Amino acid sequence: QVPLVESGGGLVQPGGSLRLSCSASGFPFSSYAMSWYRQPPGKERELVASIATYGGNINYADSVKGRFTISRNNTGNILYLQMDSLQPEDTAVYYCKGTRWSSPEYWGQGTQVTVSS
């Protein structure tokens, strides 16, 4: 059983929108802080957004502020990333991650987002 599975990636034109989902299973999702990372082609993985266990304490990378929205549904064990006004520089593989103090962290396998006309 894979703990985290991302979905929702794809090809979108500049200015378009996508919503990524990250489905969690096999661990207590509601007690884990969650985050989205991305890795553009040829670059290092970078933090995009993070959210605390209760849905607060939300933080965004400067490059996505005002365009991306992170949220979570603890009942359904799902993490979301709503991405609006997408630009070519948002092209990357997007990963979700779960962290909890003194526990192993979990990573998803990634989902490709390509922004191109």
Give the model's pLDDT for residue 1.
74
Give the model's pLDDT for residue 90.
98
Radius of gyration of the chain (CA): 13
Other beta carbons less than 10 A from residue 59's beta carbon: 13
Distance (Å, whole) CA 89 – CA 23: 26
For residue 3, the Cα-to-chain-centroid distance in whole angstroms is 14
Among all chains, which residue has been given the structure tokens 């997007």?
Answer: 94
Give 54-112 pLDDT, tens digit per residue: 988 999 999 999 999 999 999 999 999 999 999 999 999 999 999 999 999 999 999 99
For residue 32, the Cα-to-chain-centroid distance in whole angstroms is 14
Give the model's pLDDT for residue 55.
87
Distance (Å, whole) CA 58 – CA 72: 11
Give 12-43 pLDDT, tens digit per residue: 999 999 999 999 999 999 999 999 999 999 99
Strands 10-12 and 111-115 come out as parallel
Q: In sequence order, what are the residues at sequence separation of 6 or more whose Cβ sits closer than 8 angstroms to the Cβ of residue 101?
A: none
